[in-house]
Amino acid sequence: MANSNFPKNLDIQPSTFSFTKDPPNDLHSLYGHESQKQAIEQYGIAGRVWEAAYILKIYLDPPRNLDFDPPFLHEARRCGSIRIIELGSGSGMIGINIASSLKPHLGDLLLLTDLPEVCPLIKSNVEEASKDHSLSDLIHVRPLAWGNTEHVDRIKSDLIHGQKPYILAPFTHILCSDLIYFPELLAPLLRTIIELSLHPIAGPKIQVLVSYKIRSLSKESPFWGAFGLWFIYEPVLVREKLPDGSLSSWQRYGSAFEGPMFVFAARRRPESLEWVIPSDDRDLLSGFGAHGTMCPKSDDTFETLLLMSLDDTE
């Protein structure tokens, strides 16, 4: 694929956030219909805010009436800085909107990444958002094409040598917002997540947060079959604080939205840190390297969760 942001016969329209009960005001200007339309014309797929990005944004910056399990941040339990790298940031909506939850004076950092040709879009939106709130000490933009080890090594080198803005501290979170779609990009995406969750670029308890909308399950499921071999993951749950002060029952977050949609919280399987990552993308997606063996295998976590979610709708 010559340019994954401009696939053949591309015909997409700006998205809306009408499915949320209380859409945040800050989405209207930078990410409204007209802004997205212009960004799509110039940047293709990267210019659109995809549906699962909206539910990830709510999870990362929740309204007061929602509780999540696990929560994104435990301010009362914070120990050290929060240092986030986002893959496929697109127009930067996720990063820009959670910036208010982070604290630069505590060493918090947000690194937004995408293809080199998309980085100008992210930088432009960060600069626009900075007119009201200074984000220059918090948000940084770097090129990172999935599967490009050179890009990962460059970020790793800056981290190891303490180049600004890293200050010798590893990442605590990896964000993936609605990135699972093209079959040919599944293995490169998984490879980059695996590489970024290794020492020294990752902290010992680095968390991977993935928002996902099912579009073509048969094409997308190989990602989950391989992802679950390297990561332990679970769906985020949500409950609502009702007007009378009571709490609703816990339910899978995303089940109320068309898709279906999910937000998953994942951590590396400790034993996987010793496994050899196969160099061939087809082998990686087929499970080679997992469990320390070079033979095909697959994890069934996603299939189980999908069956459970179907039971919830009956």
Joined tokens for residue 13: 């329209």
Task: Return the pLDDT at 168.
Answer: 63
d(CA 32, CA 257): 20
Task: Return the pLDDT at 73.
Answer: 82
Average pLDDT, the chain: 90
Helix (H) and strand (E) counts in the chain: 10, 10
Q: Write out pLDDT tens, residues 168-179.
A: 689 999 999 999
Q: Confirm if 14 and 40 have CB atoms less than 8 A apart.
A: yes
pLDDT of 158 strictly over 60 = yes
d(CA 207, CA 281): 23
Joined tokens for residue 65: 């009436």
**Strand arrangement, sheet containing 66-69:** 66-69, 237-240, 251-252
* Residue 11 pLDDT level (bands cut at 50, 70, 90): confident
d(CA 104, CA 134): 11
How is domain 50-313 classified at the CATH fold level? Answer: Rossmann fold (3.40.50)
Per-domain residue ranges of the chain: 50-313
Stated pTM of the model: 0.93
DSSP letter assigned to residue 123: H
d(CA 261, CA 277): 29
Q: Write out pLDDT tens, residues 243-283.
A: 999 999 999 999 988 878 999 999 999 999 999 999 999 99
DSSP states of 88-111: S-TT-HHHHHHGGG--GGGT-EEE
Interaxial angle between packed helices 301-313 and 217-230, expressed in degrees from 0 to 180 and rounded to the nearest 10 = 120
Q: Write out pLDDT tens, residues 273-307.
A: 999 999 999 999 999 999 999 999 999 999 999 88
**For range 182-202, the mean pLDDT:** 96
Which amino acid makes up residue 167? I
